């Protein structure tokens, strides 16, 4: 089978660049700093419940750190990809080949996803520190890494979609950050002022005990499932069970947390994963259609 040539060439160029090892070092270094800060003093102190809890907290913080780093890196990586081809004037050269719009989009996606996966996997040994201290299982770390990979994939599709509409990389990157922020804010904001507020206030929360998991899930606002943070929080909650106190600090977050707890954290995180991947699929299809329809914003008119 032939490897996507765009992926092959980009991977070659990326790995040749001095920025790549620097980025990986910085990423793993940041993760390691969080881990060392939280687990400092653990070794040689003996195994206590308190220390095990501390290692779980370190795991949660490291996961949160990876989540934010992905949200920071993904739009910047993918938003510049198609717009960057236009800027370099290589977009037309690709369009006159046999690769087609899907080949370009999948090549760009694979290129950026491979790099993000490299970052994620290089962080796994640091995450394993939480396993070594007995706080979380190996399976939980694997699940979280896969979940983070799915978030990376989805965030990349947002960047690619925006990139297909823009002519300049910088504009595309800014617009992608805005799009990612809007997806997070709107999915949350609509939930706050949508059906959730009506359903899960006051004594309704007490009545949840009598509702089935399906009924609770149906009552939850659809938009909330599009928020990757919700999926990740519920996944971590299902793995660790210690997020209750943290979530209490935000009432609305607590409501979702309570509802998700009643419906089952694992089910909610799976629904979030499915919704996220479905939305990513739609964005990918949209990107391909835009390129097929003429490449979004075309090169300026010439003689």
Q: Which parts of this chain interact with another protein (CB under 8 A)?
A: 2-6, 8-9, 12-13, 16-17, 85, 88-100, 103, 294, 298, 301-303
Which pair of structure tokens corresponds to residue 36? Answer: 């060392």
> Taking a C-beta distance cutoff of 8 angstroms, is the pair 91, 82 a contact?
yes
Q: Which is nearer to another protein, 10 or 133 (CB)?
A: 10
CB of 290 to another protein, least distance (A): 15
**Shortest Å distance, C-beta 83 to another protein:** 14
Cβ distance to another protein smaller for residue 6 or 271: 6
Between 17 and 201, whose beta carbon lies closer to another protein? 17
Residues 156, 162, 166, CA angle at the centre, nearest 5°? 135
Q: What is the distance between the terminal CA atoms of the chain, rounded to a whole angstrom?
A: 41
Shorter beta-carbon distance to another protein: residue 48 or 97:
97
Quote the least distance from Cβ 52 to another protein, whole Å: 47
| In the complex, least distance from residue 82 CB atom to another protein, rounded to whole angstroms | 13
Nearer to another protein, 231 or 295 (CB): 295
Between 19-39 and 100-132, two packed helices, what is the crossing angle to 10 degrees?
30
Closer Cβ to another protein, 96 or 138, answer by number:
96
Q: How far is the CB of 72 from another protein (least distance, A)?
A: 23
CB of 31 to another protein, least distance (A): 27
């Amino acid at each position: 089978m032939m490897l996507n040539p765009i992926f092959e060439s980009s991977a070659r160029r990326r790995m040749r660049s001095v920025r790549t090892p620097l980025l990986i070092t910085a990423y793993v270094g940041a993760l390691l700093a969080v881990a060392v800060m939280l687990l400092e003093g653990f070794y040689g102190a003996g195994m206590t419940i308190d220390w095990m809890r501390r290692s779980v907290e370190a795991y949660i913080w490291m996961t949160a750190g990876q989540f934010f780093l992905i949200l920071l890196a993904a739009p910047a990586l993918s938003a510049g990809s198609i717009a960057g081809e236009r800027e370099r004037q290589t977009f037309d050269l690709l369009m006159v080949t046999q690769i087609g719009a899907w080949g370009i989009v999948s090549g760009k996606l694979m290129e950026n996803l491979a790099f993000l996966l490299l970052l994620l996997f290089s962080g796994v040994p640091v995450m394993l520190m939480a396993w070594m201290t007995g706080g979380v299982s190996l399976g939980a770390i694997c699940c979280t890494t896969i979940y983070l990979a799915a978030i990376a994939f989805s965030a990349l599709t947002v960047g690619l979609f925006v990139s297909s509409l823009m002519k300049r990389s910088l504009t595309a990157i800014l617009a992608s950050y805005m799009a990612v922020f809007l997806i997070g804010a709107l999915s949350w904001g609509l939930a706050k002022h949508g059906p959730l507020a009506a359903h899960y206030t006051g004594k309704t929360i007490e009545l949840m005990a009598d509702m089935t998991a399906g009924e609770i899930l149906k009552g939850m606002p659809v938009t909330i499932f599009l928020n990757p943070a919700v999926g990740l929080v519920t996944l971590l909650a299902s793995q660790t069970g210690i997020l209750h106190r943290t979530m209490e600090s935000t009432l609305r977050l607590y409501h979702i947390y309570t509802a998700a707890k009643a419906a089952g954290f694992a089910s909610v995180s799976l629904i979030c994963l499915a919704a996220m991947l479905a939305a990513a699929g739609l964005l990918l299809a949209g990107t391909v259609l835009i390129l097929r329809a003429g490449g979004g914003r075309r090169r300026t008119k010439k003689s």
